[in-house]
Amino acid sequence: MPISLTQINPDEVLRYMGTPPDQAGADLRALVEQCAREVISAARPRWAYRVFDLTPEAEGVRLDCGLLLPGEDLKRHLRGCRRAALFCATLSAQVDALIRRAESGDMLRALALDCCAAAAVEEVCDQIEGELQGQFPGCFFPFRFSPGYGDLPLTLQGPLLNLLDAPRRVGLCASSTHILTPRKSVTAILGIAGHPIEANTRSCVGCPAHDGCQYRKSGGHCGIS
């Protein structure tokens, strides 16, 4: 199931840049729109997924392959779900290279490119969610949940990528500090319930790990808007 990236919401990019969209000047908007075109041109979105049965345990949630996803936040989030789709997505190393080249000469343009890429990852993940939800008609889904959000540790990045055979299938790896490479990438867990579940709101600001977030420190993104 190929995923295409054909547009990036400029207002979302401006919010990532810390500028209210209604306060952005013409020059900044023009820069964002140009950078969005460059990111779309450079991106080669790729993704992979697997579906697992899951069981809540005292220390977290266990996938039927044996991997424990530790923490209370994910266990609470997946309450009522008996399956979950694990997926990863990446924009490609070309996008990382585009941002690095800009960082050597124009930091405002580099920031705009970085924020365009963050918005692009979100768009790709939204498309993937739609694809996965379409495979389970009549089911219900909480929002996707990524390592680094709440108390779900970043140390899971490597094991999750291994379950997906991501290094071979999509060229996505994790560094020794558990940061995804290429950087503009996401791993996520999407719960699947057979009955209505309590709706939750996803929020970077509301994340319990917000103040010490390793994604924010590295300039990355966990997929939470």
Residue 197 confidence (pLDDT): 85
Q: What is the mean pLDDT of the chain?
A: 90
Paired with 140 in beta bridges are: 193
Dist. CA 107–CA 105, nearest whole Å: 7
Dist. CA 82–CA 125, nearest whole Å: 22
CA distances from 195 to 78, 169, 217 (A): 12, 33, 38
pLDDT at residue 211 tops 80: no
Dist. CA 1–CA 105, nearest whole Å: 38
- Cβ neighbors of 139 (< 8 A, separation 6 or more) are 133, 192, 193, 194
Per residue in 77-99, pLDDT (tens digit) is: 999 999 999 999 999 999 999 99
Residue 4 confidence (pLDDT): 92
The class level of CATH for 10-218 reads alpha beta
Q: Which of these, 216, 197, 223, lies nearest to 77 by C-alpha position? A: 197
- Looking at residue 55, the DSSP 8-state letter turns out to be E
**Residue extents of the structural domains in the chain:** 10-218
Per residue in 123-156, pLDDT (tens digit) is: 999 999 999 999 999 999 999 999 999 999 999 9
Residue 85 confidence (pLDDT): 98
Cβ density class 117-133: b for 16+ within 10 Å, e for less: bbbbbbbbbebbbebbe
Which one has a higher pLDDT value, 219 or 140?
140
Q: Which of these, 135, 220, 141, 222, lies nearest to 187 by C-alpha position? A: 222
Which one has a higher pLDDT value, 208 or 186?
186
| Mean pLDDT score, 190-207 | 73
- Cβ neighbors of 70 (< 8 A, separation 6 or more) are 59, 60, 151, 152, 153
Q: For strand 83-90 and strand 185-192, is the pairing parallel, antiparallel, or unpaired?
A: antiparallel
Amino acid at position 195, single letter? H
